[in-house]
Structure 1
Amino acid sequence: MSESEQKGEKMPSLDSLTTSLTQFLADKDPIETEEGETVRASIIAEIRETFKRFVKSFGNGEGSDMDLLCVGPQFVTRHAFFEGMASLLKPKQDITEFIMITDAHVPLLAFRFKGIEIDLAYARIMKSTIPDDFDVSDNKILDGLDERCLRSLNGPRMALDILSLIPNPTQFRIVVRFIKHWAYQRGIYASSCGFLGGVACVIGAVKACQQCPIDANPVQVLQKYFTTMYTWDWSVPFTITPLQESPDFWDPTTDYAGRRHTMLIMTPSFPSVCCTSNVGASSLAIMQKEFKSGIKRIQEVMSGTRGWDYVTESANVFSMYKLYLRIVCWSETKESQLVWSGCIRSQLRKLAARLEINPVIQIVHPIPQSFDNITLGTSNQTLASLGQPLTTQQCTTFYIGLQISGKSVNLSSPCGEFVQSLQSTEEFDDSCMGAFLGVVKRADIPAAILLGMLHGASTTCILGVKRKEREVEVGMCGFEFPEEIDGATAIANL
Structure 2
Amino acid sequence: MNTANAGAYGVTPPISTVGPTAKENSLNDAMIEELRKQGSFESDAATEKRRQVLGTLQGITKEFVYEVSRKKNMSEGMAKDAGGKIFTFGSYRLGVYGPGSDIDTLVVVPKHVTREDFFVTFDEMLRKRPELNKIQPVPDAFVPIIKTIFDGVDIDIICGRLDIPQIPLDLTLEDNNLLRNIDERDLRALNGTRVTDQILQLVPQKMVFRHALRTIKLWAQRRAIYANMFGFPGGVAWAMLVARICQLYPNAVGATIVAKFFHIYLQWKWPQPVLLKKIEDGPLPVKVWNPKIYPQDKYHRMPIITPAYPSMCATHNITASTQKIIIKEMQRGLDIMNDIQFGKKQWSDLFIKHDFFYRYKFYLTIVTGTKGSYEDHLKWSGMVESKLRLLVQKLENVDGISLAHPYVKPFSKTFVCSSQEQVYKIKELWKRKLKQITSLLSIC
Greater alpha carbon shift after TM alignment, 38-47 vs 356-365: 356-365
Q: Which residue of 1 aligns with 2:244?
A: 207
Which residue identity does 1:390 align to in structure 2? Y
Q: 1:57 to 1:156 in 2, by over 3 A?
A: same
* Shift of residue 280, structure 1, vs aligned partner: 1.7
State the partner residue of 2:306. Answer: 267
Q: 1: distance between equivalents of 2:382 and 2:128?
A: 20
SS of equivalent to 1:274: coil
Distance 1:446 1:107 in 2: 41
TM-score, normalization: structure 1? 0.70
Q: CA deviation at 1:152?
A: 1.7
Amino acid at match of 2:408: P
Q: Which protein has the bigger helix share?
A: 2
Preserved CA contact (<8 Å) 2:300 2:318: yes
Matched, 1:290 2:329: yes
Amino acid at match of 1:444: L
Aligned with residue 352 of structure 1, among 383, 392, 395: 392
One-letter amino acid of the structure 1 residue matched with residue 309 of structure 2: F
Find the counterpart in structure 2 of residue 229 from structure 1.
Answer: 265
After superposition, give the CA deviation of every residue in 1:99-154 in whole Å (9 maximum; x if it has no partner): 23345443322222222221212212222332222221111101123333222212
1:174 Cα offset (Å): 0.9
Equivalent residue number for residue 424 of structure 2: 390
Does the CA contact (< 8 Å) of 1:167 and 1:210 recur in 2? yes
How far does residue 77 in structure 1 lie from its aligned partner after superposition? 2.7
Counterpart of 2:325 in 1: which secondary structure?
helix
Distance 1:106 1:278, change over 3 A: farther
SS of corresponding position for 1:330: coil
| Alignment check: 8 A CA contact 1:297 1:310 kept | yes
Measure, in 2, the Cα distance between the counterparts of 1:363 and 1:441: 21
Q: 1:19 to 1:443 in 2, by over 3 A?
A: farther
Cα deviation 1:30-65 (Å, max 9, x = unaligned): 433222122111221222222223223333448x21
Q: Distance in 1 between matches of 2:442 and 2:113?
A: 48
Structure 1 contact 322–441 (Cα < 8 Å) conserved? no
- 1:337–1:94 Cα change, 3 Å: farther
**Greater relative contact order: 1 or 2 (C-alpha under 8 angstroms, separation 6 or more)?**
2
Residue in 1 that maps onto 2:151: 114
Task: State which of 422, 440, 444 in structure 2 corresponds to 1:444.
Answer: 440
Distance in 2 of aligned mates of 1:374 and 1:301 = 44
Superposed CA RMSD = 3.1
Give 1 or 2: higher strand fraction.
Answer: 1
Gaps of 5+ in 1: 1-11, 376-385, 398-434, 451-494
Does the C-alpha gap of structure 1 residues 199 and 57 become closer, same or farther in structure 2, counting only changes over 3 Å?
same
Aligned match for 2:346, one of 300, 307, 327? 307
What are the equivalent positions in structure 2 for 1:402-421 lying under 5 Å apart? none
Indicate if the aligned counterparts of 2:205 and 2:250 stay in contact, CA closer than 8 A: no
Deviates further, 152-161 or 79-88? 79-88
Residue 56 (structure 1) aligned with residue 66 (structure 2):
yes
Q: Deviations over 1:11-46 (max 9, x none)?
A: x93232222111001121443322212211122122
Distance across 1 between alignment mates of 2:412 and 2:442: 12
Q: Is the 8 A contact 2:108 2:161 kept in 1?
A: yes
Q: Is the 8 A contact 1:43 1:113 kept in 2?
A: yes
Partner of 1:324 in structure 2?
363
- Give the direction of change, closer, same or farther, for the CA distance of 1:233–1:350 in structure 2 (3 Å limit): same
Aligned mate of 1:165, from 202, 209, 221: 202
Contact 2:361 2:441 in 1 (8 A): no
SS in 1 for 2:313: coil
Structure 1 residues 230 and 145: alpha-carbon distance in aligned structure 2, compared to 1, 3 A threshold: farther
Aligned residues: 384
Q: 1:100 aligns with which of 137, 140, 152?
A: 137
Residue 287 (structure 1) shift: 0.7
TM-score by length of 2: 0.78
Identity %: 31
Give yes or no for contact 1:323–1:440 (8 Å, CA) kept in 2. Answer: no
Q: Does residue 342 of the first structure (1) align with residue 382 of the second (2)? A: yes
**2:228 and 2:234 in contact (8 A); partners too:** yes
Contact 1:69/1:152 (8 A) holds in 2 = yes
Task: Assess, with a 3 A threshold, how the Cα gap between structure 1 residues 40 and 135 changes in structure 2: closer, same or farther.
Answer: same
Match of 1:35 in 2: 45
Return the letter of the residue paired with 1:168. Q
1:174-193 matched pairs, under 5 angstroms? 174-193=211-230
Task: Look up the SS of the partner of 1:120 in the other structure.
Answer: strand
CA gap of 1:387–1:253, structure 2 versus 1, over 3 A, is farther
Higher mean C-alpha displacement, 333-342 vs 316-325: 333-342
Amino acid at match of 1:371: F
Deviations for 1:226-249, whole angstroms, at most 9, x for unmatched residues?
122222223222111111134644
Q: Secondary structure at the match of 1:112?
A: strand
Aligned to 2:293: 254
Residue segments in structure 2 that go unaligned for 5+ positions in a row: 1-21, 73-100
Question: What one-letter code is carried by the residue in structure 2 that aligns with 1:67?
Answer: D
Tell me the residue number matched to 2:407.
367
| Deviates further, 317-326 or 330-339 | 330-339
* Cα distance change of structure 1 residues 254 and 19 upon mapping to structure 2, 3 Å threshold: same
Give the secondary structure class of the aligned counterpart of 1:372: coil
- 1:44: which partner in 2? 54
How many Å separate the matches in 2 of 1:290 and 1:336? 36
Q: CA deviation at 1:95?
A: 2.9
CA contact (8 A) 2:362 2:441 kept: no
- Partners of 1:210 and 1:353 lie apart in 2 by 34
Q: CA deviation at 1:443?
A: 4.4
Shift, 1:251, TM fit? 1.2
8 Å contact from structure 1 (residues 321, 442) kept in 2: no
Aligned counterpart for 2:167 among listed residues 130, 136, 139: 130
Matches within 5 A, 1:4-15: 13-15=23-25
Deviation at 1:91, TM superposition (A): 4.4
Secondary structure of 2:404's aligned partner: strand
CA contact (8 A) 2:105 2:158 kept: yes
Structure 2 CA distance for partners of 1:369 and 1:124, relative to 1, 3 Å: same
CA deviation digits over 1:44-92, x for unaligned, max 9? Answer: 1222222223223333448x21111011222333243223322222343
